[in-house]
Structures are given as C-alpha cells and as structure tokens.
Chains A and B, each alone.
Chain A
Amino acid sequence: MALLHSRRLLAAPRLAAAASRASSWWAHVEMGPPDPILGVTEAFKRDTNSKKMNLGVGAYRDDNGKPYVLNCVRKAEAMIASKKMDKEYLPIGGLADFTRASAELALGENSEVIKSGRYVTVQGISGTGSLRIGANFLDRFFKPSRHVYLPKPSWGNHTPIFRDAGMQLQSYRYYDPKTCSLDFSGAIDDISKIPEKSIILLHACAHNPTGVDPRQEQWKELAAVVKKRNLLVYFDMAYQGFASGDINRDAWAVRHFIEQGINIVLAQSFAKNMGLYGERAGAFTVVCKDAEEAKRVESQLKILIRPMYSNPPMNGARIASTILNTPDLRKEWLVEVKGMADRIISMRNQLVSNLKKEGSSHNWQHITDQIGMFCFTGLKPDQVDRLMKEFSIYMTKDGRISVAGVSSGNVGYLAHAIHQVTK
C-alpha cells in the first residue's frame, strides 16, 4: 500500500511536467548547440588565475588588453553630434555617402568600375549582414549553380549563412596543417576541378581562421584558374587595412581580379578596421556589366533587404562615412589602422623570439608568416587542453589564437606555456 502510494507521488509531478510541455507549441524545439567560442570565453571568465589569457576573442585589444576606440572615431562622433542631425529612416540601400566611400575604399578611387558606375553597393549589417544579402541575392538570381565553394577551413559562420540562404556548400583545399601554411598546389588542383559557373568564396586578406594568405604571385594564378573555370567570385573582406597596415595592399587581390575582367561580388566589414564592431557597419557590392545592369541589380537587392529589416542602422555608417570622406580624419584613420596592424605584427614577432629564447626547437615561422588577427598555431587539442588547465590560457580547440589578445605584458608567459606543452 505504501509502495503504491509513493509510486503515485513520483508519477504525479512527471505527468504534470509532461502535460505542461505537451500543451506548449514549443515542446519539440531542441536546445540549440552552445557556441564553441562562447564556451571558451565563459570558461575564461570563471578562471581565477591572475595570469589568465583569453585568446579566443575576435576583437582588437590594445597593449593593456583593453578594447580600443579609435581617435578618429571619437572625433567623427563629436562632429556628428554637433551637426544635430535627425533620425529619419535611411534609404533601403543605406547611406549613399557611406556606400560610395566603401566601394572606393575597396576598389580604389581610380578604378574603372567606379568611374563607369558599373557597380552597386548597398549598406549591410556589418560583414555578416552583407554576406547574407549577397547569399540571398545569389540564391534568387544566380541560375547556373546552387554550390558555394569555401576554403578549408573557413570562418565558421560562412556555412550556416549560405545554407540559410538556400545554397549548398562545398570546399577546396586551402590550409596545410603539416606546414601551417597555404596548400597552394592543393588549392589550384581543387579549384581547377570546380564545375564551371559555380560560386567560389575567397578571403580577400587575413584569412580567418588561419591567417594564411596567398602571395601576390599566387593570387595571380588563382585569378587565372578562376577565370578559366568561369566561376562567380565572392570576396569576403573583413580586414582591409588591418592585415598589413596598408589598405591598398590588403585590397590588392580584389583589385587584381577585377582588372582581369572578373566581375566579383564583395562583402566588406568595418568592425575591425574602424573598431565599429557593435555599430554594424558593412557593405555588399556587385560589380556589373554596365550601369544599367547595376540599376536592375540594385532594385532587386532592395526587394531582398526590405523584408529583412527594412533599412539599415545609421550610426556606424555615419561614423565610417565621416571618417572616409573627411581628409584629416581619413589620414588619421590610416595611421591608427596601421598602428593596430603593427601591434599585431609586433606580437607575432615577439612570440616567436620568446619561443626561441625558451629553447623551443620547433619551427614557429608560420606565426610570423601568417597575417591578421588570427594565428593557427598548429597546437593539437590535447596541447590546447593543457594550456587551458595548467596555464589558464584559452583558445579554440583548433589551436587558433587571436593575436589581438596578446600584449607585451603577457607574450613571455604565452611563449613559456606553449614551450612547456610542445617540448
């Protein structure tokens, strides 16, 4: 009797829970997988070791490990505040001064494409939003193929962006884990076998996550193969200026492809190079056959944007536009973006020299060969784990570190730790 009673007691709450779940529309909704990078940051936050380092963060930090608001950004904000502008809706395609300046920044002011007007640039929600507009546009209007070829590896969000837009994902060889550098022959081999009129995505500079970029000579060969296969080229440029410190040098591949007669599409982000992360300043560009085609393409891009978010946010675009279009601020920006790039490069150099000082016999040249915010160290998962557990140094399992998280104050500690787990 007692047993029966207790069983009933046990059953009652379960039934109630089941009943309440069953009566919800969302009972069958699965819990989404946790974000892997977020997990790193969460663990970092919980760690009480004063020497802890967060090398997962994909945002620039100064030499004190703090977020850096560019001076030219502050000045631009002050200028904007003093003008007392209204807050009226932007056009669907965004702030014209911003989109024009973005296109000129990427393609070069003297670009024949700019002069002839055979392009359209729309403002997008930073890099992601710009990529997504392009992906949706291709899904709707690119008839020859559903397939988008990504480098292996690529930014983790590329795949779900294109997939949600209705495209199918393929890959081409890119990173060689044996050398921690570009698998150029593998890339050329794979790309020359891509079915004609497929879509290929290329990172314009500072490849994320590997930091491995082709040299200019290699870019020339890539352009030739891509042209031969008649592929639609989609450039993702999230680090112009931030990679080498020189905006023209970082845009070289994009401009070279266009000069070779390849009408690219391009997603730009101003999150990193202007430190405008949360303001979501970006742009999507289609290089067209002529100005008339550009008008048609523009009209269709607007039709895509309107049911997504109607029109884009003003603040980031206005700041970026003010900087790009005010000569003094533009000069100052170029100096500051070079400053950020230089600090990153300096940290790479210091890490390698410190590793040598530690007595490491490994070849760490890839750390200085790679470029941009990220570095594929070549560390294995178990080594990454040891770095986390024994040294409170946090990075993603693939051995990727954000060099932005390294400072002159902790580069020695990092080198010491890496040496300990790799000797």
Chain B
Amino acid sequence: MAASIFAAVPLSPPVAVFKLTADFREDGDSRKVNLGVGAYRTDEGQPWVLPVVKKVKQLIVNDNSLNHEYLPILGLPEFRANASRIALGDDSPAIKENRVGSVQSLGGTGALRIGAEFLRRWYNGNNNTATPVYVSSPTWENHNSVFMDAGFKDIRPYHYWDAAKRGLDIQGLLNDMESAPESSIFILHACAHNPTGTDPSPEQWKQIAAVMKRRSLFPFFDSAYQGFASGSLDKDAWAVRFFVSEGFELFCAQSFSKNFGLYNERVGNLTVVGKDADNVKRVLSQMEKIVRTTWSNPPSQGARIVATTLSSPELFDEWKGNVKTMADRVLLMRSELRSRLEALGTPGTWNHITEQIGMFSFTGLNPKQVEYLIKEKHIYLLASGRINMCGLTTKNLDYVAKSIHEAVTKIQ
C-alpha cells in the first residue's frame, strides 16, 4: 500500500492550558488545586450555572412555539441588538445615529476571527496581509493564532506588562503606538486584561486614545469579561465607550462565556462601530459572506438565552445580580490571598493581587517556582505565573498561600 498522504503530518503539542487541566484531572493527590483554565468556580470549586440562566432555559424548554430552524447568517436579531447595546450603553450616540452593526459569533474567539478575516480582506487596502497587527505583551495566546490564520503576516507585540514593577508599562505602550506604522491594528483588552489582570486607568486610556487618533491606528477591542471584572457592566465598558465618544471606528469582540456562564454554548458578538449607517451596512454585507463560508449561521441556544435575559427588565436585573455575585467572590479571594501572603511575610510585595482585576492574576512567580507548585504541591497554574482566582476557595486558600510562600522562599 502506498504511503499515506498524511505520513508527514507532525504531532502538534497540545494547547498548554488544556494540557494543564488534563494533568490536573489525572492527579490523584487530594490537596490538588486547579488555578489554570479561565472558568468561574463556586466556593465549592464547582462550575456555576447562573440562576437566571436556569430560569430562562426552563422558559425556552416549556415554549412549544420554539423550534430549531436556522438563524439568519448574522444571527438572532434580538441577540445582536441587545449584545451591542450592553457594550456601548443604552444612550450610546453610535446606536442613536444608527451606525452600529453586530455579528453573532461562536464565542469571543469567533467574533475575533470574523473581525480579523474582514480586516485582512478590506482594511488598509484590499487583502493587505502586511498590515501590522499589535497584540499586548503578554496576551491571550490565541490572539496570535487568530490573526495569523486570518492571513496577517506581521503580528507584533506592544509593551504592556512591566515585570519589575508588576504593573502596566504605560510609557512603553505609548512609545510603541507612536512608532507603529499608521493604520496598524491594535488589539486592546477592554477590561480585566488576560493574563495580567492589569488594566489602564481612565487617564491612561485617554492617553492611549489620543495617540491612536493622531496616528490613525485601528482599535480592535476584546471584551470577554464585561461585568465580571468590577461587578459593574458600565464600569467595565468605560474604555470602549470612551473610544466611541472620541469618534473612533472600531470593532469590539464580545464574549458571553464568562459573564453568562454559557461557555459551551459559544455565545459571542462582534460589534462594529462605523462613521455612518451606509458604511456599516456595506461592512456587514461583507462579513456575512465570511460567516457563510465559516459556519453558515450561528448556534441558536445560547443566543436565545442571552436575548431573553437582556430584553426583560426583571431578568436583566437578576442577571446583573448573578454577575456581581461572581465578581464579588473573585474580589474576596483576592483580598484573602493577599492578606495571607502578607501575614506569612512572603518575600516581595503582594498588593498587585488586589490591584489587578478580573479572573486572572499575574502572580510574578517564575517558571521554576511554578514547576515546584505543580510537582510538589499539586497546584496547577500556567508557566507564566498566571492564576485563575476562581480556583481559590475558602477551603484551599491557606494551602495555596502556604505553598506560594514555600515556592518563593525555597526557589529563586
């Protein structure tokens, strides 16, 4: 038999964060803690289906008028409009001026991909794969792959995390924007930066916007944690809305995985803000073509849940309450972890644990210390030192704090 056509296909290494979870699952040690993958956990360490989601799911199941017919290519209209409204605000001038478009997508990733595919085809000329795409250093590792697979050839880091001061390297960031070629695309984390948990302050966002405007740089926001970061939807959307008020045309990839707990239903939305309705109309018509060859039309279940929730005042309020519950638990874990480390006298400063925001914290632990934690203490976290605060519970806080203390004092 002839050699297989796939004989030369190499085995690719698994995606790190999923490998971590797989290793965690196989670990038999009773003390094990998973601080890896970014999903919310209750204080019992369990996934949490939001009460409002359970309620809405029941409404859907009981509604015999609903069926499983195809959604339109761009998605469920009630979902799209509500999703963009959540990001931009009820009183958004862009919405009032009818210059907002929305594309229901498969999670935040899908929204990023549709936006990236569109930009590669239509931004800065036609099919200009040479347009530089800037991603923060560090960033969610999938950002690179999304834009690469969309065809962009020049993906560059911009300064972001200052390891020495454990905070935002705002000057480095602004310098990179000053020297970036005009029309470069910048991927900005709307809030709760992944993996560092470090966001620009409103003043810093203003500086960023000023440079981007002057240098004609394109803002592509990634908003995966709206509401989940501070507990307030409006507060977490401040940066996006500020850019809109400054007259930018922009994209915002939204995910409802975390703030609705709808991870596996793949609920996302690409919000497009343009100069006017006509531009947005043409952009959406081209995005429709891209969607058609990628997934034809999006899944209906998750979008229905979100649309039903957002369009009912009572359910919307209930949802906001659920979101605040999650955000508050994360904030509690942050302050509890920090106070324990300080009480133990763990070398270094630990205020960054409470100053950072969202699901993740860049602890500052180095790869050797991380390896120690995984191998010796059965505490799983990424080699970058990123921990998921949701993996902490009142039951494991002491163990984790003591283990971090050991790692920092024993390993340099």
| Chain A contacts to B: CB under 8 angstroms | 20-21, 23-32, 35, 59, 67, 69, 73, 77-78, 81, 84, 86-92, 125-129, 132, 141-144, 157, 160-161, 163-164, 197, 230, 232, 261, 263, 271, 275-280, 286, 288-289, 293, 295-297, 299-300, 302-304, 306-316
Which listed segment binds A: B77-85, B291-299, B319-327, B386-394? Answer: B291-299
A23-B275 contact given A263-B4, A313-B265, CB 8 Å threshold: yes
Query: Is B9 a contact of A275 with CB atoms below 8 Å?
Result: no
Q: Does B130 reach chain A (CB closer than 8 Å)?
A: no
Residues of chain A contacted by B288 (CB below 8 angstroms): 32
For B216, give the chain A residue with the smallest CB separation. A25
A87-B18 contact given A279-B300, A288-B4, A313-B302, CB 8 Å threshold: no
Top 8 nearest A-B pairs (CB, nearest first) are A309-B106, A32-B285, A307-B145, A128-B296, A278-B300, A314-B264, A24-B275, A125-B295
Give Cα A86–Cα B266 distance, bound, in whole angstroms.
14
- Our pick among B71, B105, B263 for the contact of A89 (Cβ within 8 Å) is B263
Query: Is A87 a contact of B265 with CB atoms below 8 Å?
Result: yes
Residues of chain B contacted by A25 (CB below 8 angstroms): 123-124, 218, 249
Query: From residue B296, how far is it (CB to closest CB) to chain A in Å?
Result: 4
Interface flags for B64-80 (1: CB within 8 Å of A; 0: not) read 00011111010000000
Query: Is B12 a contact of A300 with CB atoms below 8 Å?
Result: yes
Query: From residue A336, how far is it (CB to closest CB) to chain B in Å?
Result: 14
Give Cα A69–Cα B65 distance, bound, in whole angstroms.
10
Residues of chain B contacted by A311 (CB below 8 angstroms): 107, 264, 266
Known pairs A88-B263, A129-B295, A160-B289; list 15 more (Cβ under 8 Å).
A25-B124, A26-B283, A30-B282, A35-B73, A69-B68, A89-B39, A89-B263, A126-B295, A128-B292, A197-B5, A275-B68, A308-B109, A308-B113, A309-B113, A311-B107
Query: From residue B323, how far is it (CB to closest CB) to chain A in Å?
Result: 15
Residues of chain A contacted by B246 (CB below 8 angstroms): none
| Chain B contacts to A: CB under 8 angstroms | 1-2, 4-15, 18, 37, 39, 46-47, 49, 53, 57-58, 61, 67-71, 73, 105-107, 109-110, 113, 122-124, 126, 142, 145-146, 148-149, 218, 249, 257, 261-266, 274-276, 278-283, 285-286, 288-290, 292-302
Give Cα A20–Cα B99 distance, bound, in whole angstroms.
13
Give Cα A266–Cα B214 distance, bound, in whole angstroms.
51
For A127, give the chain B residue with the smallest CB separation. B296
A289-B249 contact given A30-B282, A86-B49, CB 8 Å threshold: no
Residues of chain B contacted by A314 (CB below 8 angstroms): 264-265
Give Cα A373–Cα B146 distance, bound, in whole angstroms.
37
